[in-house]
Amino acid sequence: MSSRKKKILFYYLSAFSHTGGIEKFNRCFIKALNRLPEENFDSSIVSVYDSNSDERYNRRLPFKGFKKRRSVSLGYIFSRSFNTDVLILGHINLAIAGVIYKLLRPGGKLIIVAHGIEAWPRLYLFKKLCFRLADQVLSVSNYTKNQLVLRNNINPQKIRLFPNTIDPFFALPQSFEKPGYLMERYGITNSQKIILTLSRLSINEKEKGYSKVIAALPEILKSQPNVVYILAGKYDQHEKKRIELLLAQYKMEKNVILTGYVKDEEISDLYKLADVFIMPSRKEGFGIVFLEALASGTSVIGGNQDGTVDALLNGSLGMLINPTKIDEITSAILQHLQGQNQNPEQLQKGVLEQYRFSRYQQRLQQCLDLV
């Protein structure tokens, strides 16, 4: 590397003003940028939606937030193009910025982060051109990489696997007893078995698999009558209504708890409350929730048809099942509830070995050293 610092600009949608898997990724990405050696890298961050950054994740880097004014943010990016060695796009929906950056500064390096469904379909116009112009694509999973290659003919040689990480501020439990305050809040007794799904519950995102878990409950209850299914996460009213109709259809109103939004400081305790975590999704780019559950000592079940396979290391960290088959979901849950869970300490140790933040930080520096 030359003695001159590389000027890095990370242009992303949201990290601090919204919640979700991509936002969690962006927060960790910003934290990793902060930890790059200052003698080699001069980084800054620009957000379309955020108005402020969190000092826990961004202690020292210049930040500019545009509060949803996308066109104004694009103008700012263009004005910075000639003074930027590496432009990192946090989402392909910002493709126009990447295309114009490469036109304005042909010698500059363009990196795109590819998460999930936004990168899976056949792409056109600016999005397709942006991937073609990119010097490096960071794919969070093999599944997303394969979709980019198969559907959009992206050169696999420039796609680097860049999986998610466990947030450095995620509360790692030192003990694994079920938290009494949550048991009291939800009216749960020691004799009950808890199934958990934590997800955004949106009418526009119906591929998380919790509908299939609800459909599996009547059969599960035949052999495990004390089961409670906690379906946690912020919901919109349309999806809440749909779930309530589903519960009425299966007569499961008394066996399912909708918690609504969960505070960050309670998430680890919520995982500890569960005997098994399940999210049999079909369109998940990766699935940070699986890492969090494992880090909290809770066994997990995920689908075998999306990025979950990468998150669970092809089944070495958790059980993979066909997310479309209710009988497989039923069988997997019963296996865990009947005592086939792993040791909590071993689960935590295993996921930390693969996904601790220091490894994520190292991967980012390696990627930037190569462009």
Q: pLDDT of 281-336, one tens digit each?
A: 999 999 999 999 999 999 999 999 999 999 999 999 999 999 999 999 999 999 99
3-state secondary structure of 367: helix
pLDDT mean over 152-173: 96
The answer on pLDDT for 126 being more than 60 is yes
Report which secondary-structure segment, H or E, holds 194. Answer: strand 193-198
Domain residue extents for the chain: 6-165+356-369, 180-354
User: Token pair for residue 105?
Assistant: 């500064």
Confidence grade of residue 341 (pLDDT, cut at 50, 70, 90):
low
Name the percent of the chain lying above pLDDT 90: 94
> What's the rounded Cα separation, in Å, for the pair 122 and 124?
7
Check: CB of residue 16 under 8 Å from CB of residue 54. Answer: yes
Name the percent of the chain lying above pLDDT 70: 99
The answer on pLDDT for 239 being more than 50 is yes
CATH architecture of 180-354: 3-Layer(aba) Sandwich (3.40)
pLDDT mean over 148-173: 96
Please tell me if the domain spanning 6-165+356-369 has the same topology as the one spanning 180-354.
yes
Q: pLDDT of 254-270, one tens digit each?
A: 999 999 999 999 999 99
The residues, ordered by sequence, that sit 6+ positions from 216 with a Cβ below 8 Å of its Cβ are 326, 329, 330, 333
The answer on pLDDT for 178 being more than 80 is yes
Note the pLDDT of residue 311. Answer: 97
Strand partners, 230: 196, 257
Note the pLDDT of residue 1. Answer: 42
Q: pLDDT of 41-88, one tens digit each?
A: 999 999 999 999 999 999 999 999 999 999 999 999 999 999 999 999
Q: pLDDT of 180-235, one tens digit each?
A: 999 999 999 999 999 999 998 988 877 899 999 999 999 999 999 999 999 999 99
Note the pLDDT of residue 4. Answer: 86
Q: Output the DSSP codes for 292-328.
A: HHHHTT--EEEESSSTHHHHTGGGTSSEEE-TT-HHH
Confidence grade of residue 3 (pLDDT, cut at 50, 70, 90):
low
Higher pLDDT, 284 or 2: 284
Mean pLDDT value across the chain? 95
Residue 65's CB is within 10 A of a number of other CB atoms, namely 20
Top CATH class, 6-165+356-369:
alpha beta
